[in-house]
Amino acid sequence: MAGVSAAAKLSPHASVTVLEREPSLGYHSTGRSAAIFIRNYGNATLRALNVIAEPEFIEPIGISDRTLLSPRGQLLFGDDSEIDKLQSYADGSDGLVWLSQAETLEMVPILRIERVASSIYEHSAQEIDVDRMLQGYARLARANGAQIELAQGVESVGFTEGIWTLRTAKDTFQAPVVINAAGAWADNLAVIAGLGRMNLSPLRRSAVMIPSPTGYDTGQWPVFADIAETFYAKPGAGRIMISPADEDPVEPHDAWAEDMVLAEGIDRYERAVTVPVTRVERNWAGLRTFAPDRTPVVGFDRRAQGFFWLAGQGGYGIQTAPALSQITADLVLGRAGSIKADILAAIAPDRFLDI
């Protein structure tokens, strides 16, 4: 998502080539997300980026002929001992409403009554059509003349006289600017380019898909989670996705879910609901790659001319893509953008560099 969205924004003004190691787009984190837009998700910088991103989801000009969002909502519940946690989440958020125990159970009738003292509900949380978004950015980039090269894993990166040379097993590519949008592999790419790491941590997050409990129409239920985030569930028509909300640090790889992590997550889910899980239809895992301050890393690396980071999107890389791709285009093209300086400083790679 990061590379292709940046290509879409840059391609009207520059010659752009996207190099993707896999034979298809969206094979890694982008194709494995929960596909949710939550305006109040993440720290203050991320919340500002979410707000900047939202209009492009609603009116994705050039990307799709209709909104990329559909209604879902998000409900965070807590028991008597967790009211403080609910309060502090609500204090830092916009547009949330408090629901009583009865209102909460009306919205998600399978929640166990003893687990719910009250809840906070974010009506504006929405489902993202990630595939339409990704394909729309790719189509736009290609229409503007960009090349999207699949099955082209970058194996070496060199810099001479203002030009970067990237080699794959098949071809050689040259450009004055390289955008490192390699997801969980962004630090590895920086290392082969001769730069240091940003200490990005790929954290594995797993999920299962289960059939909806018999007798319930889950199509209109919101995403629901305990405020301690020991799991979350995303209902849809006929199915519920459950995530153990795991964050296990791993090396970048083609991620898969561990049975024990899934079993523990399902157990935590079952302790919050009245209907047991009897069948798992499928499971998967993906990597959410975080910088140490859990804020994206976006901007030129001042140690190397023309080396740009677009990485560390963590659990927010789909919902922030419209904002981060716009910032990328503005910075790469040297345009005066409309993004506030404090946001640019908060995401700049400089914050981790002492030189």
Binding site for ligand FAD (CB under 6 A): 1-3, 19-22, 27-30, 32-36, 153-154, 181-185, 189, 205, 207, 243, 286, 288, 313-319
Q: Residue 115 or 132: which CB sits closer to ligand FAD?
A: 132
Q: How far is the CB of 288 from ligand FAD (least distance, A)?
A: 5
Q: What's the one-letter identity of residue 235?
A: P
Please give the residue whose beta carbon sits closest to ligand FAD in the complex. 317
Q: Residue 99 or 234: which CB sits closer to ligand FAD?
A: 234
Q: Residue 118 or 205: which CB sits closer to ligand FAD?
A: 205
Q: Residue 116 or 181: which CB sits closer to ligand FAD?
A: 181
Q: How far apart are CA 141 and CA 309, in angstroms?
A: 19
Q: Which residues pair with 243 in a beta bridge?
A: 232
Q: How far is the CB of 292 from ligand FAD (least distance, A)?
A: 16
Q: Residue 181 or 225: which CB sits closer to ligand FAD?
A: 181
Structure tokens at 219: 């199509």
Q: How far is the CB of 334 from ligand FAD (least distance, A)?
A: 23
Q: How far is the CB of 1 from ligand FAD (least distance, A)?
A: 4
Q: How far is the CB of 348 from ligand FAD (least distance, A)?
A: 17
How many Å is the maximal CA-CA distance in the chain? Answer: 68
Tell me which residue has tokens 């791709």. Answer: 325
Q: How far apart are CA 323 and CA 342, in angstroms?
A: 15
Q: How far is the CB of 10 from ligand FAD (least distance, A)?
A: 15
Q: Residue 19 or 52: which CB sits closer to ligand FAD?
A: 19
Q: Residue 49 or 343: which CB sits closer to ligand FAD?
A: 49
Write a three-state SS string for the chain: CHHHHHHHHHCCCCCCEEECCCCCCCCCHHHHCCCEECCCCCCHHHHHHHHHHHHHHHCCCCCCCCCCEEECCEEEEECHHHHHHHHHHHHCCCCEEEECHHHHHHHCCCECHHHCCEEEEECCCEEECHHHHHHHHHHHHHHCCCEEECCCCCCEEEEECCEEEEECCCCEEEECCEEECCHHHHHHHHHHCCCCCCCCEEEEEEEEEEECCCCCCHHHCCEEEECCCCCEEEEECCEEEEECCCCEECCCCCCCCCHHHHHHHHHHHHCCECCCCCCCCEEEEEEEEECCCCCCEEEECCCCCCEEEEECCHHHCCCCHHHHHHHHHHHHHCCCCCCCHHHHHHHCHHHHCCC
Q: How far is the CB of 90 from ligand FAD (least distance, A)?
A: 21
Q: How far is the CB of 234 from ligand FAD (least distance, A)?
A: 8
Q: How far is the CB of 41 from ligand FAD (least distance, A)?
A: 8
Q: Residue 110 or 184: which CB sits closer to ligand FAD?
A: 184
Q: Residue 79 or 316: which CB sits closer to ligand FAD?
A: 316
Q: Residue 9 or 288: which CB sits closer to ligand FAD?
A: 288
Q: How far is the CB of 255 from ligand FAD (least distance, A)?
A: 7
Residue in 217, 196, 283, 288 with CA at minimum distance from that of residue 250? 288
Q: Angle at CA 233, nearest 5°, toward 284 and 74?
A: 130
